[in-house]
């Protein structure tokens, strides 16, 4: 039979339909960090589509690192996305759909990874040195070309859209934000190198999924 459950004068659950069947609706209730979810339960999802830009000099992120070190040269700032974990002991599954290519007349290497930063405020302004690099996931290499081929080389060195994915044990303090962004570096030190992201006005998606452990 239909009925309601009240606490402090507020209806927190109501049942409609016949006894043993029907539907129970929860309302006027907020889940806090003390709620125990079964392992593997998806607690919340943040998914943001990042608009693309045309292939031009604004897509080039020139670097200074001379090796694929754990400290990135650059932050791919348009990929920055955040989530406020409900649980301090959960994990965050990060998925970044993105494009990466090395840029150089000679052979070119480009590396990308996922950077993490804990912030007490939303949309923080961060630099590469603020980040913890979770891993170096994406790698792109291109063979040598002549400078005359510079404007027609797209098909020779583009790796196209790729996905970086990582399951992160965040340990973020209650009330703080887990901030994630793509990072990049290269293994060449001369002036004619860099990396290319997000060309040809193609949109990409960043998804952050909090999972109970």
The encoded tokens of residue 41 equal 């339960």
Mean pLDDT along residues 194-213: 75
CA distances 212 to 6, 111, 119, 162, Å, are: 28, 31, 21, 27
Q: Are residues 74 and 99 in the same domain?
A: yes
Q: Are residues 174 and 197 in the same domain?
A: yes
In 67-176, DSSP assigns E strands to: 74-83, 91-99, 101-103, 108-119, 132-142, 161-169
Return d(Cα 154, Cα 143) in angstroms, integer: 12
Highest mean pLDDT among 2-6, 159-163, 175-179: 175-179
pLDDT value at 171 more than 90: yes
Instruction: Give the distance between the most distant pair of CA atoms in the chain.
Output: 80
Per residue in 44-86, pLDDT (tens digit) is: 999 998 776 543 334 444 444 444 445 566 777 778 999 999 9
- Note whether 127 and 169 are within 8 A (CB): no
- Note whether 185 and 74 are within 8 A (CB): yes
Q: Are residues 60 and 22 in the same domain?
A: no
Q: For the domain that residue 177 is a member of, what is the CATH number?
A: 2.60.120
Instruction: Give residue 20's domain range.
Output: 1-30
Q: Are residues 177 and 151 in the same domain?
A: yes
In the chain, DSSP assigns E strands to: 3-7, 10-16, 23-26, 42-50, 74-83, 91-99, 101-103, 108-119, 132-142, 161-169, 177-185, 194-196, 204-211
Q: How far is CA 25 from the centre of its chain?
A: 33
Q: Are residues 9 and 66 in the same domain?
A: no
Mean pLDDT along residues 83-102: 87
Structurally, how many domains does the chain consist of?
2
How many of the other CB atoms lie within 10 Å of CB of 74? 22
Mean pLDDT along residues 38-44: 93
Q: Are residues 45 and 12 in the same domain?
A: no
Q: Are residues 43 and 128 in the same domain?
A: yes
Q: Are residues 86 and 105 in the same domain?
A: yes
Q: Are residues 1 and 94 in the same domain?
A: no
Rg of the chain's alpha carbons, rounded to an integer? Answer: 23
Q: What is the pLDDT of residue 153?
A: 45
């Amino acid at each position: 039979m239909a009925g309601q459950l009240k606490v402090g004068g507020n209806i927190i659950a109501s049942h409609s339909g016949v006894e043993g069947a029907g539907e129970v609706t929860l309302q006027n209730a907020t889940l806090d960090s003390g709620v125990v979810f079964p392992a593997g339960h998806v607690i919340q999802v943040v998914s943001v589509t990042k608009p693309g830009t045309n292939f031009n000099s604004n897509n080039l992120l020139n670097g200074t690192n001379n090796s694929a070190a754990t400290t990135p040269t650059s932050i791919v700032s348009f990929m920055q996305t955040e989530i406020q974990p409900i649980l301090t002991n959960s994990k965050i599954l990060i998925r970044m759909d993105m494009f990466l290519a090395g840029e150089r007349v000679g052979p070119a290497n480009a590396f990308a990874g996922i950077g993490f930063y804990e912030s007490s405020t939303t949309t923080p302004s961060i630099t590469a040195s603020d980040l913890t690099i979770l891993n170096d996931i994406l790698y792109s290499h291109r063979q040598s070309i002549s400078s005359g081929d510079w404007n027609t080389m797209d098909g020779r060195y583009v790796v196209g859209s790729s996905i970086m994915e990582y399951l992160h044990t965040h340990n973020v303090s209650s009330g703080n934000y887990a901030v994630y962004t793509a990072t990049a570096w290269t293994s060449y030190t001369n002036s004619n190198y860099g990396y290319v992201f997000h060309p040809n006005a193609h949109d990409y998606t960043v998804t952050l999924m909090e999972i109970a452990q």
